[in-house]
């Protein structure tokens, strides 16, 4: 996720902003920038790459020549020599638009009087962009975020910065947090929050704002949380919280006793747990502006020309590890909804079997890092042999994006823990979107069906939150009961098999316990020999057309005396009689249930590993990306 920092006070601002951004580096970024108010003008510096590049650019600007200011017609300001005491900064993890200086934040309006830093996503930015361009706004980036600078500027014609932010907020749809400043109101920062986090740090005659506490922890431990759907106004004297309708809100100051490392983890004990809890936000970003139409999904964007999806009569999905499991769910969704036959293979197998592909085939390479050697090699081979290739990845500018004809970004933000969690659910969400789009293009689903499914997809973030908030404690208790087992079997059928495979991978990867995962119907053909009273068997038994068959498999497991932990759909009372433990996930469309069903399994693996005292963020023998042949 991107990082925001803002400061207003008496001290020189540049170093505070740069040091604050450095404390947010752990969140991952590909470009960064700062804007400061000096002598009635806003000076802005942005740079692609790491923060040392930004520091160098700032130094250059301080010597009197801001390349960025010059580029957008602003004034180059030698800010080091001026009493510059308010400003905003940002680290960007690209989602909309490439990694370029003009796409880096802060973004600014046509007059260069309003600057803004934004996290998250503005769903209706295309609509707003067209409207603002029609009345003269000059857009200089490919981002959704820039629209906020123009919108606030537009509303400032009729009011103060805070009134303009309130008016803009009323028009913005999405999932975002932003902070803006205006050259016409020096010494004031105004922020707004809709879902994405934003937090205030209180000082003596100075105030801070950031997307996370590490941004200002070196200066203050007194914080005020900006709640969802609130606007905040910061001046050196103090901070005011208001509702979008202008009603003032009282907000207590709380003191945090976190150290830097706890603050980076947002108060969670590990990055993995933090990332499991970030899944609702991550999925919201993945689906946001792609589901603004009630009866369908729109995927066309700069790096995905939808003609790539037309005329496809066969699909092949290639991936490794967790990404392969996301692809398996994608396979079921595409076949079910779009009625296109989908083959799947492990990239490291497919590339060595002299594979056959045709130009009527779409090959989808799923790789969150965009750098896994086997997946990249398989994608390149598919292209050489005539197939069109779509990359599904989290990293803008990664090798996979260069080896593909189109890119479907998953927008999960940086994942620090080695075990993939939020990138997995975002890959699955992206597969659902693709399947729905293909269904519409091929006419295999009528409008009513599409409308119902899009509505369910939009509910996924809420349901994920219900799960991560509601199930954390009970799953911890269940995991601790079983943490001594030395072997686990995971079973599932149809889409539940993909979930079982992912649950088993997660447990073995972070707890070093032997696991196996099987299609429920295959169990009697061998693996059943492994079962006895000591074996926990995790059975994915959420709502699906062949749930009855899965229940029969569970009965076979029970006949061997093994202990069944079932993942079932809320309201389904068929599992209680056949399983010792049942964990319920919220009811939704049965295909979408797969995304929800994996979350208890992530938490389960996590708490088993923690009970065993293991470092889940860095499991042994694993690296986040595999680039070595
Ligand atoms: C498991 C995990 C790995 C990756 C695999 C592919 O938690 O993270 O199995 O899924 O190494 O990585 P990407 O998606 O980067 O190609």
Tens digit of each residue's pLDDT (9 = 90 or more) over 499-511: 999 999 999 999 9
Structure tokens at 429: 């969400």
Please report the pLDDT score of residue 540 as a whole number.
98
Region 516-544: what's the mean pLDDT? 94
Question: How many whole angstroms separate alpha carbon 93 and alpha carbon 108?
Answer: 18
Region 382-410: what's the mean pLDDT? 93
pTM: 0.85
Adjacent-strand bridge partners of 119? 177
List alpha helices for 443-527, DSSP H. 447-482, 495-511
Residue 7 backbone phi and psi in degrees, to 5: -145, 140
> Could you tell me if 177 and 198 are in contact, meaning their C-beta atoms sit under 8 angstroms apart?
yes
Structure tokens at 473: 């404690």
Region 573-590: what's the mean pLDDT? 96
Please report the pLDDT score of residue 40 as a whole number.
87
Is 66 a residue whose pLDDT tops 50? no
Mutational test site, ligand 1, from 271, 272, 323, max ligand atoms within 8 Å of CB: 323
Ligand 1: residues with CB < 6 A are 320-323, 367-369, 372, 375, 419-420, 509, 625-626
Residue 29's nearest CA partner among 217, 221, 212, 277 is 212
> Could you tell me if 345 and 316 are in contact, meaning their C-beta atoms sit under 8 angstroms apart?
yes
Please report the pLDDT score of residue 624 as a whole number.
59
Question: How many whole angstroms separate alpha carbon 255 and alpha carbon 243?
Answer: 24
> Could you tell me if 507 and 604 are in contact, meaning their C-beta atoms sit under 8 angstroms apart?
yes
> Could you tell me if 495 and 545 are in contact, meaning their C-beta atoms sit under 8 angstroms apart?
no
The residue whose C-alpha atom lies closest to atom 15 belonging to ligand 1 is 369
Please report the pLDDT score of residue 621 as a whole number.
61
Structure tokens at 549: 């068959």
Residue 512 backbone phi and psi in degrees, to 5: 60, 30
For 433-466, the pLDDT digits (tens) are: 999 999 999 999 999 999 999 999 999 999 999 9
Number of Cβ within 10 Å of residue 238's Cβ equals 10
Question: How many whole angstroms separate alpha carbon 410 and alpha carbon 412?
Answer: 6
Adjacent-strand bridge partners of 566? 539, 582
Region 475-483: what's the mean pLDDT? 94
Q: Which residue has the tokens 């590993």?
A: 609
The residue whose C-alpha atom lies closest to atom 16 belonging to ligand 1 is 367
Is 334 a residue whose pLDDT tops 90? yes
Question: How many whole angstroms separate alpha carbon 606 and alpha carbon 473?
Answer: 12
Please report the pLDDT score of residue 95 as a whole number.
79
Q: How confident is the model at residue 74 (pLDDT cuts 50, 70, 90)?
A: very low
For 185-227, the pLDDT digits (tens) are: 999 999 999 988 899 999 999 999 999 899 999 999 999 999 9
Is 65 a residue whose pLDDT tops 60? no
Is 288 a residue whose pLDDT tops 70? yes
Please report the pLDDT score of residue 85 as a whole number.
84
Please report the pLDDT score of residue 76 as a whole number.
39
Is 67 a residue whose pLDDT tops 90? no
Residue 102's nearest CA partner among 158, 35, 33, 37 is 33
Residue 118 DSSP code: E
How many angstroms is it from 613 CA to the middle of ligand 1?
Answer: 23
The residue whose C-alpha atom lies closest to atom 9 belonging to ligand 1 is 321
Helix or strand run (H / E) with residue 490? strand 487-492
Is 83 a residue whose pLDDT tops 70? no
Helix (H, G, I), strand (E, B), or coil: what is residue 13?
A: helix
Sequence-separated contacts (24+) of 59-63 with Cβ below 8 Å: 62/14
Region 248-268: what's the mean pLDDT? 88
Question: How many whole angstroms separate alpha carbon 614 and alpha carbon 616?
Answer: 6
Work out whether strand 31-38 and strand 86-92 pair parallel, antiparallel, or are unpaired. antiparallel
> Could you tell me if 366 and 372 are in contact, meaning their C-beta atoms sit under 8 angstroms apart?
no
Is 75 a residue whose pLDDT tops 50? no
Active-site residue numbers?
2, 624
Residue 550's nearest CA partner among 563, 540, 565, 562 is 540
Is 78 a residue whose pLDDT tops 50? no
Please report the pLDDT score of residue 628 as a whole number.
45
Adjacent-strand bridge partners of 117? 179
Please report the pLDDT score of residue 195 as a whole number.
84
* Phi-psi category of residue 14: left, alpha or beta, with phi > 0 → left and psi -120 to 50 → alpha: alpha
Residue 287's nearest CA partner among 361, 198, 195, 197 is 195
The CA angle 60-65-68, to the nearest 5 degrees, is 90
Mutational test site, ligand 1, from 272, 279, 320, max ligand atoms within 8 Å of CB: 320
The sign of the CA dihedral 93, 89, 244, 275 is: positive
How many angstroms is it from 625 CA to the middle of ligand 1?
Answer: 7
Helix or strand run (H / E) with residue 150? helix 146-156
Q: How confident is the model at residue 2 (pLDDT cuts 50, 70, 90)?
A: confident
Structure tokens at 230: 């609130």
Region 62-75: what's the mean pLDDT? 49
Please report the pLDDT score of residue 261 as a whole number.
82
How many angstroms is it from 391 CA to the middle of ligand 1?
Answer: 15
Region 482-490: what's the mean pLDDT? 95
Residues 6 or more apart whose Cβ sits within 8 Å of residue 352: none
Region 85-89: what's the mean pLDDT? 93
Q: How confident is the model at residue 429 (pLDDT cuts 50, 70, 90)?
A: very high
Helix or strand run (H / E) with residue 365? strand 361-366
Helix or strand run (H / E) with residue 175? strand 174-182
Is 396 a residue whose pLDDT tops 70? yes
Atom of ligand 1 nearest to the CA of 368: 14
Number of Cβ within 10 Å of residue 175's Cβ equals 20
Per residue, what are the HEC states of 575-589? CCCCCCEEEEECCCC
Torsion of CA 101, 106, 107, 110, to 10 degrees: -100
Region 459-484: what's the mean pLDDT? 94
Mutational test site, ligand 1, from 271, 275, 372, 417, max ligand atoms within 8 Å of CB: 372
* Phi-psi category of residue 205: left, alpha or beta, with phi > 0 → left and psi -120 to 50 → alpha: left
Is 471 a residue whose pLDDT tops 60? yes
Please report the pLDDT score of residue 61 as a whole number.
83
> Could you tell me if 235 and 207 are in contact, meaning their C-beta atoms sit under 8 angstroms apart?
yes
Is 620 a residue whose pLDDT tops 80? no
Residue 399's nearest CA partner among 369, 378, 374, 426 is 369
Alpha-carbon distance values, 365 to 389, 393, 459, 601 (Å): 7, 8, 27, 25
For 128-179, the pLDDT digits (tens) are: 999 999 999 999 999 999 999 999 999 999 999 999 999 999 999 988 999 9
Averaged confidence pLDDT in the chain: 92
> Could you tell me if 234 and 249 are in contact, meaning their C-beta atoms sit under 8 angstroms apart?
no
Work out whether strand 361-366 and strand 314-319 pair parallel, antiparallel, or are unpaired. parallel
Please report the pLDDT score of residue 626 as a whole number.
52
How many angstroms is it from 71 CA to the middle of ligand 1?
Answer: 40
Please report the pLDDT score of residue 303 as a whole number.
85
How many angstroms is it from 296 CA to the middle of ligand 1?
Answer: 30
> Could you tell me if 307 and 390 are in contact, meaning their C-beta atoms sit under 8 angstroms apart?
no
For the chain, give the number of residues: 629
Residue 301 DSSP code: B
The residue whose C-alpha atom lies closest to atom 13 belonging to ligand 1 is 367
Is 80 a residue whose pLDDT tops 90? no
Atom of ligand 1 nearest to the CA of 393: 14
Region 57-85: what's the mean pLDDT? 57
> Could you tell me if 415 and 380 are in contact, meaning their C-beta atoms sit under 8 angstroms apart?
no
The CA angle 15-20-24, to the nearest 5 degrees, is 145
């Amino acid at each position: 996720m991107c990082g925001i920092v803002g400061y207003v006070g008496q001290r020189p601002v540049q170093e505070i902003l740069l040091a604050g951004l450095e404390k947010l580096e752990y969140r991952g970024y590909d470009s960064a920038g700062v804007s400061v108010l000096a002598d009635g003008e806003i000076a802005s510096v942005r740079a692609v790459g790491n923060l040392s590049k930004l520091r160098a650019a700032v130094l250059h600007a301080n010597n009197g020549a801001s390349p960025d200011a010059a580029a957008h017609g602003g004034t180059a300001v030698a800010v080091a020599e001026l009493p510059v005491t308010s400003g905003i900064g940002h680290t960007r993890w690209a989602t909309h638009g490439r990694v370029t200086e003009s796409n880096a934040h802060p973004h600014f309006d046509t007059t260069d009087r309003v600057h803004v830093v934004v996290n998250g996503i503005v769903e209706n930015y295309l609509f707003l962009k067209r409207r603002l361009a029609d009345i003269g706004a000059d857009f200089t980036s490919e981002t959704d975020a820039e629209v906020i600078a123009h919108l606030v500027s537009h509303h400032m014609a009729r009011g103060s910065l805070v009134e303009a932010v309130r008016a803009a907020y009323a028009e913005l749809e999405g999932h975002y947090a932003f902070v803006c400043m205006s050259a016409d109101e020096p010494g004031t920062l105004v922020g707004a929050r809709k879902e994405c986090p934003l937090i205030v740090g209180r000082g003596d005659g100075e105030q801070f704002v950031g997307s996370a506490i590490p941004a200002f922890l070196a200066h203050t431990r007194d914080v005020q949380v900006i709640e969802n759907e609130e606007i905040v106004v910061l001046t050196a004297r103090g901070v005011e919280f208001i509702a979008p309708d202008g009603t003032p809100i009282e907000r207590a100051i709380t003191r945090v006793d976190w150290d830097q490392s706890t603050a980076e983890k947002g108060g969670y004990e590990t990055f993995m747990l933090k990332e499991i809890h970030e899944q609702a936000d991550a999925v919201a970003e993945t689906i946001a502006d792609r589901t603004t139409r009630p009866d369908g999904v729109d995927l066309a964007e700069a790096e995905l020309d939808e003609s790539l999806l037309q005329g496809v009569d066969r699909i092949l999905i290639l991936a490794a590890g967790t990404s392969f499991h996301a692809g398996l769910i994608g396979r079921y969704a595409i076949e079910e909804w779009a009625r296109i036959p989908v083959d799947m293979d492990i990239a490291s197998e497919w590339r060595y079997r002299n594979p056959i592909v045709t130009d009527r085939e779409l090959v989808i390479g799923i790789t969150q890092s965009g750098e896994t050697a086997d997946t990249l090699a398989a994608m390149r081979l598919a292209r050489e042999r005539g197939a069109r290739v779509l990359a599904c990845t989290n990293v803008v500018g990664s090798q996979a994006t260069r080896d593909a004809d189109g890119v479907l970004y998953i927008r999960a933000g940086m994942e620090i823990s080695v075990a993939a969690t939020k990138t997995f659910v975002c890959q699955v969400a992206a597969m659902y979107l693709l399947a729905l789009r293909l269904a519409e293009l091929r006419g295999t689903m009528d409008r009513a069906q599409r409308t119902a499914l899009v509505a369910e997809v939009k509910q996924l973030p809420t349901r994920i939150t219900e799960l991560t908030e509601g199930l954390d404690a009970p799953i911890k208790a269940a995991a601790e009961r079983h943490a001594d087992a030395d072997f686990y079997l995971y079973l599932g059928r149809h889409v539940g098999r993909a979930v079982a495979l992912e649950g088993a991978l997660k447990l073995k990867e972070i707890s070093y316990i032997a696991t196996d995962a099987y299609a429920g119907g295959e169990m009697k053909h061998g693996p059943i020999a492994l079962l006895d009273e000591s074996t926990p068997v995790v059975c994915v038994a959420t709502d699906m057309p062949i749930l009855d068959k899965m229940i029969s498999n569970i009965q076979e497991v029970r006949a061997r005396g093994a202990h069944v932990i079932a993942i079932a759909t809320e309201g389904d009372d068929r599992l209680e009689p056949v399983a010792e433990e049942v964990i319920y996930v919220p009811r939704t469309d049965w295909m979408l249930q797969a995304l929800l069903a994996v979350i208890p399994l992530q938490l389960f693996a996590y708490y088993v590993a923690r009970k065993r005292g293991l470092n889940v963020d860095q499991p042994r023998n694993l690296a986040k990306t595999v680039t070595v042949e």
